[in-house]
Chains A and B, each alone.
Chain A
Amino acid sequence: MRRTLEIRGGRVIDPANRLDAITNVYIVGSKIAGIGTPPEGFKSRNVIDASGKVVCPGFVDLAARLREPGLEHKGSIASETRAAAASGITTLCVPPDTNPAIDAPPEVALIRRLAKRAGYAWVVSLGALTRGLDGEMLSDMGILKDAGVVGVSNAMRPIKSTMVLRRAMEYAATFKLPIHVYPLEPWLSERGSVHEGVVSTRLGLPGIPEAAETTEIARLLTLAEHTGCRVHFCRLSTRKGVKMIARAKADGLRVSADVAAHQLHLTETDIDGFNTYAHVMPPLRTTQDRDGLREGVADGTITCICSDHQPHEADAKLRPFMQTEPGISGLETLLPLTLSLVESGVLKMSQAISRLTAGPAQVLGTGVGSLEVGAVADLCVFDPEMDWRLTPEAMLSRGHNTPFMGLELRGQVCHTVHEGRISFARKPLLEEH
Chain B
Amino acid sequence: MNLQLDDQGRLRHFLDIAGLPRDVLINIMDTAEKFSGVTEQAVKKVPLLRGKTIVNVFFENSTRTRTTFELAAKRLSADVLNLNISTSSASKGETLLDTLANLQAMHSDMFVVRHEDSGTAEFIARHVPPHVAVINAGDGRHAHPTQAMLDMFTIRRHKGSDFGRLRVAIVGDIMHSRVARSQIHALNTLLTGEVRVIAPRTLLPGNVREALGVHVFHRPEEGLRDVDVIIMLRLQKERMSGALLPSEHEYFQYWGLTQERLALAAPDAIVMHPGPINRGVEIDSVVADGDQSVILEQVTHGIAVRMAVMAMSMRSSGTEGAA
A: which residues have CB within 8 A of B?
196-207, 209, 273-274, 315, 318-323
- Report which residue of B18, B117, B140, B208 has the largest number of chain A beta carbons within 10 angstroms of its beta carbon: B117
State which of B43-51, B119-127, B165-173, B255-263 sits at the interface with chain A.
Answer: B119-127
Known: A203-B142, A204-B143. A322 touches B117 (CB 8 A): yes
Contact A323 B117 (CB under 8 A): yes
Q: Is B206 a contact partner of A205 (Cβ separation < 8 A)? A: no
Interface residues of B (CB under 8 A from A): 18, 95-97, 115, 117-120, 122-123, 127, 139-143, 178, 181, 205-208, 210-212
A-B contact pairs, 22 of them (CB 8 A): A197-B211, A198-B211, A200-B205, A201-B211, A201-B212, A202-B212, A204-B118, A204-B139, A204-B142, A204-B178, A205-B118, A205-B140, A205-B141, A207-B205, A209-B206, A315-B95, A318-B95, A318-B97, A318-B127, A319-B95, A320-B120, A323-B117
What chain A residues lie within 8 Å of B141 (beta carbons)? 204-206
A273, B122: Cβ atoms closer than 8 Å: yes
Contact A274 B123 (CB under 8 A): yes
A274 and B206 contacting across the interface, CB-CB below 8 Å: no
A202, A203, A204 — which one has the most chain B CB atoms within 10 A of its CB? A204
**CA separation between A203 and B142, bound complex, in Å?**
5
Which residues of the partner chain B approach A206 to less than 8 Å between Cβ atoms?
141
Partner of B123 from A196, A199, A320 at Cβ < 8 Å:
A320
Which chain A residues border B115 with CB–CB below 8 Å? 320
Whether A207 contacts B206 by the Cβ 8 Å rule is yes
Residue from B18, B117, B143 within 8 A of A321 (CB atoms): B117
B119 adjacent to A321 (CB under 8 Å): yes
User: Would you list the 8 A-B pairs with minimal beta carbon distance, nearest first?
Assistant: A204-B141, A204-B142, A274-B119, A201-B211, A201-B205, A320-B117, A198-B211, A320-B120
User: What separation, in Å, do the CA atoms of A197 and B141 have in the docked complex?
Assistant: 14
Q: Which residues of B contact A207 (CB under 8 A)?
A: 205-206
Of B119, B142, B181, the most chain A CB neighbours within 10 A belong to B119
Q: How far is the CB of A321 from chain B (nearest CB, A)?
A: 4
Residues from chain B with a CB closer than 8 A to the CB of A321 are 117-119, 123
Residues of A within 8 A of B211 (CB): 197-199, 201-202
Residue of A nearest to B119 (CB): A274
Whole-angstrom distance between the alpha carbons of A196 and B208 in the complex?
11
CA distance A315 to B96 in the complex (A): 11
User: How many Å lie between the Cα of A385 and that of B211 in the bound state?
Assistant: 40
| Interface pair B205/A322, CB less than 8 Å apart | no
Complex interface: chain B residues within 8 A of A205 (CB): 118-119, 140-142
Least CB distance, B115 to chain A, in whole angstroms:
7
Distance, CA A204 to CA B185, complexed state (A): 13
A274 engages B122 (CB within 8 Å): yes
Q: Which residues of B contact A319 (CB under 8 A)?
A: 95-97, 123
Q: Which residue of B lies closest to A209 (CB)?
A: B206
Cα of A200 to Cα of B139 in the assembled complex, Å: 14
Complex alpha-carbon distance, A273 and B4, angstroms: 12
- Measured in the bound complex, the distance between the Cα atoms of B139 and A274 in whole Å is 12
Chain B residue at smallest Cβ distance from A194: B118
Question: Measured between alpha carbons, how far is A315 from B127 in the docked complex, in Å?
Answer: 13
- B136 to chain A: closest CB distance in Å? 12
Least CB distance from B287 to A in Å reads 28
Bound Cα distance from A274 to B2, whole angstroms: 14
User: What residue of chain A has the Cβ atom nearest to residue B208's Cβ?
Assistant: A201
Measured between beta carbons, the chain A residues less than 8 angstroms from B181 are 202, 204
Instruction: Please give 9 more A-B residue pairs, beta carbons under 8 A apart, in addition to A198-B206, A203-B142, A323-B96.
Output: A198-B210, A200-B205, A204-B118, A205-B119, A205-B140, A207-B206, A274-B123, A318-B97, A320-B96
Known: A197-B206, A320-B117, A321-B119. A202 touches B18 (CB 8 A): yes
Instruction: Give the residues in chain A near B122, CB-CB below 8 Å.
Output: 273-274
Among B96, B181, B211: residue with most chain A CB under 10 A: B211
Min CB distance, A71 to chain B, in Å? 18
Contacts of B123 in A (CB 8 A): 274, 319-321
Kindly name the residue among A274, A320, A323 whose own CB sees the greatest number of chain B CB atoms within 10 A.
A320
Known A274-B123, A319-B123: A203·B118 in contact at CB below 8 Å: yes
Bound complex: CA A205 to CA B122 (Å): 14
Which among B18, B118, B207 is the interface contact of A322 at CB below 8 angstroms? B118
Q: Contact: B205 with A274, CB < 8 Å?
A: no
* Cα of A204 to Cα of B118 in the assembled complex, Å: 6
Q: Which residues of A contact B96 (CB under 8 A)?
A: 319-320, 323
For B119, list chain A residues within 8 Å (CB).
Answer: 203, 205, 274, 320-322
With contacts A318-B97, A322-B140 taken as known, whether A198 is within 8 angstroms of B207 at the C-beta atoms is yes
Question: Which of A200, A320, A322 is close to B206, meaning CB atoms less than 8 Å apart?
Answer: A200
What CA separation (Å) do A322 and B205 show in the bound complex? Answer: 17
Hey, which chain A residues are within 8 Å of B142, CB to CB?
203-205
Nearest CB in chain B: distance from A27 CB, A: 50
Q: How far is the CA of A198 from the CA of B212 in the complex (A)?
A: 8
